[in-house]
Structure 1
Amino acid sequence: MSLPEVTIKDGTLTADPELRFTQGGKAVASMNIANNSRRKNQQTGQWEDGDATFLRCSIWGDYAEHVAETLTKGSKVIGTGVLKQRSYEKDGQNRTVLEVELYEIGPSLRFATARIDRGQSSGSTQAADPWGSNDTPDW
């Protein structure tokens, strides 16, 4: 059984991506993406924002470093990934959260322009095994 795939379009970063490294040295960037529905008010003819949904997202490897260097608070983005459930303990209580593990994210060119720098890639941007062997984030 595969995990549910999620595509976020017209999302907005609520803060700069936070870059961290696992104890094994693997990069992970964490971010919150806000997204809301829009509809046209038939009486006024104006577009109105609906309720906002905030998604906690992460991306791994070289891609994480590229995201942290490129995207900033307020950036309009498009992202695709899988929805995952994660459990942890905080203040003696067990907690469970849903997160999107992104395998693709970039600026939405619907709202801006972007310049692409084609740097060298080490090929480790795939998110197939983001934790690596016995590697967990040190947050």
Structure 2
Amino acid sequence: MAGNGIRVTVIGRLTADPELRKTKSGISVASFSIASNERGFDSESQRFVDGDATFVRCSYWRDGGENFAESNEKGNRVIATGYLRQNDYTDREGVERTSLELVVEEAGPSNQFATTEYSKRKGNGNKSSASKTKTKAKAGASTKASSGSDDESDDDFDF
């Protein structure tokens, strides 16, 4: 989804389970809100303290939104990136208002304080694959560098 707005990335916690719905034309959209706040060290109290929360309303369209809604729930720490869209509207009292919404292009779980499992979708994104796989990253070289010794150690490193 190409956007003309300001590109941003938000990291925070979901305030509720993502709500998945379909438009009249059958397009899926997941709506959710992310609460994000700064955390800093207070030298006076010698403790880390949380700042005020900022709440960001998000919409994630099509297969990505379906996958996100299926994979995440209230309280999960997530990362979402996309562009800001300004919405002008009139509230119930007749007052003109403006809100900002993050139109998500990519989103997923944050691995700062948690681990996740990766499960690839088949075909058009509507059917889960039969097996979930948990993979570890490995670095390897196709050829061994000659160090002048007969060291038979493994060149693959677990990260």
Q: TM-score, structure 1 length as denominator?
A: 0.81
Alignment of 1:70-89 (within 5 A): 70-89=71-90
Matching residue of 2:58: 57
Matching residue of 2:44: 43
CA distance in 2, matches of 1:7, 1:120: 28
Matching residue within 110, 116, 120 for 1:118: 120
Contiguous gaps of at least 5 residues in structure 2: 126-159
CA distance in 2, matches of 1:4, 1:119: 30
How far apart are 1:121 and its partner, in Å?
A: 4.6
CA distance in 2, matches of 1:100, 1:68: 16
Superposition CA RMSD, Å: 1.7
Q: 1:121 to 1:13 in 2, by over 3 A?
A: farther
Matched AA of 1:49? D
Q: 1:45 to 1:121 in 2, by over 3 A?
A: farther
CA distance in 1, matches of 2:123, 2:64: 9
Runs of 4+ in structure 1 over 2 Å off:
87-96
Say whether residues 1:33 and 2:34 are aligned partners.
Answer: yes
Moved more, 112-121 or 24-33: 112-121
- Structure with larger Rg: 2
Q: 1:121 to 1:8 in 2, by over 3 A?
A: farther
Matching residue of 2:104: 102
Give the fraction of aligned pairs with identical amino acids, expressed as a percent.
Answer: 45
Q: 1:110 to 1:121 in 2, by over 3 A?
A: farther
Moved more, 19-28 or 93-102: 93-102
Q: TM-score, structure 2 length as denominator?
A: 0.71
CA distance in 2, matches of 1:110, 1:12: 12
Matching residue of 1:133: none
Q: Deviations over 1:70-124 (max 9, x none)?
A: 100000011101000112344263432110001111110111110000112538x
Q: Deviations over 1:53-86 (max 9, x none)?
A: 0000010001111111110000001110100011
Work out the number of aligned pairs and report it.
122
- Say whether the 8 Å CA contact 2:4–2:83 is kept in structure 1: no
SS of 1:95 mapped into structure 2: strand
CA distance in 2, matches of 1:30, 1:17: 6
Q: Which protein, 1 or 2, shows the higher relative CO under an 8 Å CA cutoff with sep ≥ 6?
A: 1
CA distance in 2, matches of 1:41, 1:50: 11
Contiguous gaps of at least 5 residues in structure 1: 124-139
Matched AA of 1:44? S
